């Protein structure tokens, strides 16, 4: 499963090209750093293709930027209202993410997501910079180390180091609705001072 076509794909392509250019990186170098094929990167930059969650996180790691730098236009309104129906969906085999907001407190970056986990599948991450904060609102979620995940019910919260391998899966046949906050503290290997795209 992948980022949906349309506005999100075009924004990802434009942001990828801008970030790569700002850093003076060739497509070949980004391909080497991310493990994503050069031809796939070229397609993404032209607004084509369907990148997976894994591809977007690989690019985030390779460029040392938060995922939000790849997926959103940054604005600075006094009031921000986000309607769930207007959000682009970033999908994988088990998880659907909708970025609600990127927040830049002093010394770091926060990314706030509406996260849905489908039953019958497991999402595995090898790790990425930052800390993950998860609050379950519906269903029962298994999250954490693949060999011994934590089980969270409605209202439960856990904070995990994003840099270690971890999984997301439902503990039953009911989808899980949760809030995911990824915290990139100062010095977490992410450049929080990116310019608006």
Higher-scoring residue by pLDDT: 111, 80: 111
pLDDT band at 84 (very low <50, low <70, confident <90, very high): confident
pLDDT tens digit string along 117-151?
999 889 999 988 899 999 999 999 999 999 999 99
Separation between Cα atoms, residue 83 and residue 179, nearest integer Å: 15
Count CB neighbours of 62 within 10 A.
Answer: 21
User: Which string of DSSP letters, residue by residue, matches 68-125?
Assistant: HHHH------SS----GGG---EE-SSEEEEEEEEE--TTEEEEEEEEEE-TT-EEEE
Does residue 89 surpass a pLDDT of 70? Answer: yes
């Amino acid at each position: 499963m992948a980022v949906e076509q349309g506005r999100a794909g075009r924004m990802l392509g434009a942001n990828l090209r801008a970030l790569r250019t700002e850093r003076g990186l060739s497509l070949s170098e980004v391909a080497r750093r991310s493990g994503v094929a050069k031809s796939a990167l070229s397609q993404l930059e032209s607004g084509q293709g369907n990148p997976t969650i894994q591809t977007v996180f690989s690019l985030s790691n390779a460029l040392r930027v938060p995922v939000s730098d790849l997926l959103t236009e940054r604005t600075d309104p006094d009031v921000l209202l986000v309607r769930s129906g207007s959000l682009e969906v970033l999908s994988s085999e088990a998880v659907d993410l909708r970025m609600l907001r990127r927040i830049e407190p002093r010394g770091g970056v926060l990314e706030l997501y509406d996260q849905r986990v489908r039953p019958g599948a497991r999402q595995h991450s090898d790790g990425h910079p930052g800390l993950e904060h998860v609050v379950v609102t519906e269903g029962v979620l298994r999250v954490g180390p693949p060999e011994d995940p934590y089980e969270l019910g409605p209202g439960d919260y856990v904070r995990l180091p994003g840099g270690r391998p971890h999984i997301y899966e439902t503990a039953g046949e009911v989808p899980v609705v949760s809030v995911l906050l990824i915290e990139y503290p100062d010095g977490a290997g992410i450049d929080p001072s990116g310019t608006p795209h």
